[in-house]
Amino acid sequence: MSVKSKITRRKSLKVFAGTLTLGVLGSTISQRVQAMENPLEKELKGRINHSVCRWCYNDIPLEDLCIAAKEIGLKSIELVGPDEWPILKKYGLTSAMPWGAGLGIENGFNNPDLHDELVKSYEEMIPKVAEAGFNQIICFAGNRKGIDDETGAKNCALGLKRLVPTAEKHGVIMCMELLNSKVNHPDYQADHTAWGVDVCKRIGSENVKLLYDIYHMQIMEGDVIATIKKYHSYISHYHTGGVPGRNEIDENQELQYPAIMKAILDTGYSGFVGQEFIPKRSNKLASLKQGIEICDV
């Protein structure tokens, strides 16, 4: 996470909204104007459905972020809870990856003691997700806390299987995120793609898939394009981020995002790609616009 903002996604998943000052609002409007002074050089190709994660821009009022997103060419804002869904609708935006259920990143389906509480939470939220017109919801494996990988995979499968009937009934995908346990989320269990795929295979439902976070998996295992080609049928969503640092996805980091986007498209993927980098420049919306341009292949 950026030293400057001290904002973490872990904290964002616990809080729906913060208090915003007039000064922040004025700064945001200024950023919007600056970001739009240099419009996209050409119309977006439309091959990638562009999205952005809300928590990376928590200091920008959601309505301002919605307006900027529409101007830049995004269709979705992710990781927003039910209280904010009406704001997205107001601006003609969807949420490719909403949230609002579960017990956070560290307490997930690998712990059978939490299954009853998790199942109740998701069974209540999945119908709301579907009613809002969304088709996915994020979930987590949880931290190991001494649970070995085989047992963790078995436990995750057992817990998620209980939700398959509800997910299938409402057409909602339970999407387990792959995160790195080396830098950002120590002890997190779903830290390798093959492990997540094993969980999906144990369940055997098209309504349980993976969120492949390119930033996180580059840190843990690399070989991003080959992994996407091999396991794409188990992936229903993608996130971006520059490595190292999780900042802008430009030439100052090691991943070649245009090549990665082309590889994703070559698999036949037609879902969303969510920008989840933390802008370190003062004009955050200009960085977001640049990220969309980089991924527009």
Q: What is the pLDDT of residue 9?
A: 52
DSSP output for 131-155? HTT--EEEE---B-TT--HHHHHHH
Residue 89: which domain range? 9-39+47-295
Identify the band that residue 43 occupies on the pLDDT scale cut at 50, 70 and 90: confident
- Please determine, for residue 276, whether its predicted confidence score (pLDDT) is greater than 70: yes
In the chain, DSSP finds a helix count (H) and a strand count (E) of 12, 7
- Please determine, for residue 17, whether its predicted confidence score (pLDDT) is greater than 80: no
- Whether 123 maps to a domain, the answer reads yes
pTM, to two decimals = 0.88
- Please determine, for residue 140, whether its predicted confidence score (pLDDT) is greater than 80: yes
- Whether 1 maps to a domain, the answer reads no
- Please determine, for residue 58, whether its predicted confidence score (pLDDT) is greater than 90: yes
> Residue 31 carries which DSSP code?
H
Q: What is the pLDDT of residue 4?
A: 35
- Whether 176 maps to a domain, the answer reads yes
**CATH no. for residue 56?**
3.20.20.150
Mean pLDDT estimate for the chain = 90
Q: What is the pLDDT of residue 15?
A: 40
Taking Cα atoms as reference points, which of 178, 160, 181 lies closest to residue 228? 178
- Please determine, for residue 217, whether its predicted confidence score (pLDDT) is greater than 80: yes
- Please determine, for residue 57, whether its predicted confidence score (pLDDT) is greater than 70: yes
- Please determine, for residue 76, whether its predicted confidence score (pLDDT) is greater than 50: yes
- Whether 3 maps to a domain, the answer reads no
- Whether 2 maps to a domain, the answer reads no
- Please determine, for residue 5, whether its predicted confidence score (pLDDT) is greater than 70: no
- Whether 4 maps to a domain, the answer reads no
Share of the chain above pLDDT 70, in %: 86
Mean pLDDT, residues 99-108 taken together: 97
- Whether 79 maps to a domain, the answer reads yes
Q: How far apart, in whole angstroms, are the C-alpha atoms of residue 236 and residue 231?
A: 11
How many domains is the chain partitioned into structurally?
1
